[in-house]
Amino acid sequence: MSIWTDPFAAAPTLDDIRAAARRLDGAARRTPLLNAPLLDRAAKRRVWVKAECLQVTGSFKFRGAYATLSGLAPEERARGVIAMSSGNHAQAVAHSAALLGCPSAIVMPHDAPAVKLERTRAYGAEVVTYERGVEDRDAVLAREAEARGMTVVKPYDDARVMAGQGTCGLEIGEEMPDDVEEVLVCCGGGGLTAGTALALEGRARVRPVEPEGFDDVCRSQASGRIERNARESGGLCDAIITPAPGRLTFPVLRDVCGAGIVVTDAEALSAMRAAWEHLRVVLEPGGAVALAAALFRAGPDVCVVASGGNVDEAVFRLGLEAPFPRGA
């Protein structure tokens, strides 16, 4: 029997997040919380970086994927799972499925970074592509899931996935200095941000960070209703480009999180360089936006989540060539 009755009905509780942490024990890495004096100087405040780029499969997405699949009933795992993703959730589901002996198929945009398409296939998943901006990805997912009889694992609007992502927040709460009360999180559909906020509620204020031009969460927070992006492709931060906040994630983003922050692609590239120079970690643009906010927006001492490091070589070179952040 599955541990979930309806994972699409409501956001997870703190108990759900703690249960996910128990299932992840021994499978996910406890990623380090990094600090460097020169990074603090560049940001003009103390900055701790939760290096989820060092997580299994290169991003925080493994937490949600493995937590979800490990909680499925045996008969559900036998039928297999299907997910949709631009890359990081794809790799996480594919690898989790392989670890648990579960067939998997991933619906991915045709223009996803080549490295993410290749790695998803290498983890053992069948990749089904669709044309982003032309085809409805939800419709493609529904069609393929019905045809194959597979269980859908959504990238963020799924309580099981949110609970897994929230385990990142549990670790931050255990390791972050007591006087740090703000956490910046790279935000797409909001699974990591909402899960982290629920895990840290009463301990720290979590703020979503988005790339300029794809700030649906910030606009939704301001209006009090779900706002959609005008376009779904074309941005440098492909890993966190989503149509809109999720139905489950939005109430948490609205009611529990602090105000969102928007950064430019140029700032994200500079943050990639700073992460490499000061911490020797590789970030993709979407995984660097929270660090960019710490570097280019004034504020108190802060913890940021560096959410992913699956970057094409050409894009990483752009980061290494970006102007260094102020104060460095």
The enclosing domain of 248 has a CATH number of 3.40.50.1100
Whether residue 6 lies inside any domain: the answer is no
Helix axes 114-122, 88-99, angle to 10 degrees: 10
**What does the pLDDT read at residue 219?**
98
Residue 282 and residue 183 in one domain:
yes
**What does the pLDDT read at residue 114?**
80
Residue 145 and residue 271 in one domain:
no
Residue 231 and residue 251 in one domain:
yes
Whether residue 184 lies inside any domain: the answer is yes
- Look up residue 42 and give its two tokens: 């560049």
Residue 167 and residue 239 in one domain:
yes
For residue 25, give every residue at least 6 positions away whose Cβ sits within 8 Å of its Cβ, in sequence order, or none.
Answer: none
**What does the pLDDT read at residue 326?**
65
For residue 140, give every residue at least 6 positions away whose Cβ sits within 8 Å of its Cβ, in sequence order, or none.
Answer: 84, 107, 128, 130
If one counts every other C-beta atom within 10 angstroms of the C-beta of residue 326, the result is: 12
Whether residue 2 lies inside any domain: the answer is no
Residue 197 and residue 309 in one domain:
yes
For residue 300, give every residue at least 6 positions away whose Cβ sits within 8 Å of its Cβ, in sequence order, or none.
Answer: 45, 180, 181, 182
pLDDT in tens, 282-295: 999 999 999 999 99
Predicted TM-score of the model (pTM): 0.94
Whether residue 196 lies inside any domain: the answer is yes
Residue 96 and residue 236 in one domain:
no
95, 117, 152 - which closes a domain: 152
What is the domain extent for residue 87? 62-152
**What does the pLDDT read at residue 159?**
97
Whether residue 140 lies inside any domain: the answer is yes
C-alpha to C-alpha distance for 51 and 22, rounded to whole angstroms:
20
**What does the pLDDT read at residue 327?**
55
Task: Find, among 293, 231, 287, 230, the residue nearest to 264 by Cα.
Answer: 293
Residue 265 and residue 301 in one domain:
yes
**What does the pLDDT read at residue 267?**
97
**What does the pLDDT read at residue 325?**
74
Whether residue 43 lies inside any domain: the answer is yes
Blockwise average pLDDT, block size 10, the chain, 328 residues: 72 97 98 97 97 97 98 95 89 96 93 82 94 86 95 95 98 97 97 98 98 97 96 85 94 98 97 97 98 97 97 94 76
pLDDT in tens, 143-160: 999 999 999 999 999 999
Residue 170 and residue 243 in one domain:
yes
**What does the pLDDT read at residue 162?**
98
Count of structural domains within the chain = 2
126, 152, 178 - which closes a domain: 152
Helix axes 159-175, 14-24, angle to 10 degrees: 80
**What does the pLDDT read at residue 101?**
96
133, 152, 171 - which closes a domain: 152
Whether residue 92 lies inside any domain: the answer is yes
**What does the pLDDT read at residue 87?**
80
For residue 158, give every residue at least 6 positions away whose Cβ sits within 8 Å of its Cβ, in sequence order, or none.
Answer: 7, 8, 64, 68, 191, 248
**What does the pLDDT read at residue 119?**
87
Task: Find, among 201, 218, 184, 206, the residue nearest to 298 by Cα.
Answer: 184
Helix (H) or strand (E) holding 33: strand 33-34
Residue 145 and residue 83 in one domain:
yes
Whether residue 328 lies inside any domain: the answer is no
Residue 181 and residue 296 in one domain:
yes
**What does the pLDDT read at residue 57?**
95
**What does the pLDDT read at residue 2?**
61
Residue 105 and residue 171 in one domain:
no
Residue 52 and residue 81 in one domain:
no
